[in-house]
Amino acid sequence: MRKTIKRMAALLLTIAVLMSCMVTLPASAAFWNFWNNKNSHQESWNDESWVGAWSTSPVEFNWKEMLNLGCIKKEYGIRNLTFRTRLQPTLSGSAVRITLSNEYGTGPLTVNSVTIARGYERLPQAIQTWTKQTVKFNGSSQVTIPAGETVTSDPIQMSVEALEYLTVSMYFKESANMKTYGLIGGDTYIMSGNFAGAATTLGVPMRMNGDFGEYAVIPALTGLEVYAPGASSVVLLGDSTLANDIPLLLAERLQDAGIDNVGILQQAIKGNRLLDDGAGLLGMVYGESVMDRFERDALNQPGVSKIFIKVGANDIIHPNCESMKGEAKEVTADEMIAGYKQLIDAAHENEIEVYLFTRSAWKGYTRNLLGLKDDIQWTQELDQMRQEINDWILDADNPADGVIDLDFMCQDSNEATQLRDEYTTDGVHFTAQGQQALVDAIPLEFFN
């Protein structure tokens, strides 16, 4: 009898525990959408329906040196690290997959564990654990990426809403060969140990701020696609004048206008040039020239139908900076125009449209690098090249599919050499108001 009572008591206790667990399960719409998606049968994937919803341009970057971690031997790196990156896709879809890059790695890079989950707006290091899924590559939860290559994950059955927060967590037992990073587009936190599946973490933000700009360091992760039949992506290709919130602001504007079948991809690199690779003290983070990265960062993006280009200021400015004289190659307006034409022709050959922004004014910009003396002074002679390029962009014979003229952002539209104070932080880079003004200047009919 006592045994029976004990068994019944144990059974009741078990039921009580189960019931308590059940009532703590989230009952939100997001949870049930996730549950239904996870338990539905996997659809037959059509490669053409995978569309880019988020991206960042990879550069070669030694963060251990940049963050003054000289005590760490380069050949060993730091072991047992988790990187947690929170990002916002710009397009909705019924499934996702991610791309990891080891393009600049010095050897094979092994990612030992990857998860993806919904995140929170106000809790950047926390995930909604009931949405967490293991990311696999050819059926394996671990992947080794050869040097110079990228890998794309297997499809993950997870519905995604445009502009919601998603969190990708990656665990590395070894990181010595990690040299490929994005520097814009997400918030990454680093911690010691395997926290790929943790509900929240106490990681250190991988963000650098200084006179040279702000960088959000994103290791290995370079793209996120969603499964969205009938949708397409738009690439914003450029320099620091697009390496900001403009892609998200544009995505918000399209969503508000009911244009919900377009993903916005940020392929902007601070300090980037049209014709030449980065030079000087921070040359490696300025990336390869647009001419060299155009195929990878624009033409080959999943689902791309249009490319918006705003690059060229640094081709004029960098060769005339005191810190880069003799290192940054000088170019002419004719050489730059020929470069733009080459990009447009390559895109048109792939049935991709190209839209050009005029080169924005920069009078007053001095590039006070690292707190040192002014690195450059604006002159009418230097600005003449920018004006010649703009004349060509605005000419009716320009082969681009459309143009966005930014002269309205200038103090004096007749002279158009200096940005309005409310639009710029330092004479060349945009304030939040300036970024919104640029986005509002893009005609919505370009996306029809």
For residue 30, is pLDDT > 80? no
Among the residue ranges 25-29, 244-248, 253-257, 321-325, the one predicted with the least confidence is 25-29
pLDDT of amino acid 1: 38
- Extents of the domains making up the chain: 39-219, 231-447
Residue 122 pLDDT greater than 50, yes or no:
yes
Nearest to 99 by CA among 246, 297, 270: 297
pLDDT reported for residue 212: 54
CATH code for residues 231-447: 3.40.50.1110
C-alpha 229/C-alpha 47 separation (Å) is 10
When comparing pLDDT for 70 and 418, which is higher? 418
- Indicate the helix (H) or strand (E) that contains 271: none
Provide mean pLDDT across the span 29-34. Answer: 47
pLDDT surpasses 80 at 101: yes
pLDDT, one tens digit per residue, over 341-379 is 999 999 999 999 999 999 999 999 998 776 668 899 999
Q: What is the DSSP letter of 4?
A: H
Q: Both ends of the chain: CA-CA distance in Å? A: 77
HSE (side-chain half, CA atoms, 13 Å) at 137: 18
Across the beta sheet with 204-205, the strand order is: 133-134, 113-118, 166-172, 81-87, 187-192, 204-205
Please, which residues have CB within 8 angstroms of residue 135's CB and are 6 or more apart in sequence?
98, 114, 115, 116, 141, 153, 154, 156, 168
Q: What pLDDT, on a 0 to 100 scale, did the predictor assign at position 183?
A: 94
Count how many residues are written for the chain.
448
Report the pLDDT averaged over residues 187-208. 94
